[in-house]
Amino acid sequence: MLLIVFIRTIILYFLIVIIMRLMGKRQIGQLQPSELVVALIIADLAAIPMGNTGIPLLAGIIPILTLFVCEAMLSYISLKSQLARRIISGKPSIVIEKGKILENELRKQRFNIDDLMEQLRLKDVFDIQDVEYAILETGGQISILLKTDKKPVIREDLNIKHQYEGLPISLIIDGRINCHNLSISGHDMNWLNKQLSINGIKSPRDVLYAYISEDNKFVYMLRDKAKGGYSN
Task: Compute the distance between CA of residue 143 and CA of residue 126 in angstroms, rounded to an integer.
Answer: 14
Residue of higher predicted confidence among 196 and 28: 196
Same-domain status, 129 and 185: no
Residue 230 in this model has a pLDDT that exceeds 90: no
In this prediction, residue 191 has a pLDDT band, given cuts at 50, 70 and 90, of: very high
Tell me the mean pLDDT in the region 120-147: 89
Phi, psi of 218 (to 5 degrees): -85, 120
Same-domain status, 124 and 189: no
Tell me the mean pLDDT in the region 21-28: 64
Residue 50 in this model has a pLDDT that exceeds 90: no
For residue 230, is it within any domain? no
User: Could you tell me how many helices (H) and strands (E) the chain has, helices first?
Assistant: 8, 8
For residue 77, is it within any domain? yes
Domain that holds residue 173: 169-222
pLDDT value for 25: 56
For residue 56, is it within any domain? yes
CATH number for position 215 = 3.30.240.20
For residue 228, is it within any domain? no
For residue 182, is it within any domain? yes
Same-domain status, 146 and 194: no
pLDDT value for 181: 92
Same-domain status, 9 and 76: yes
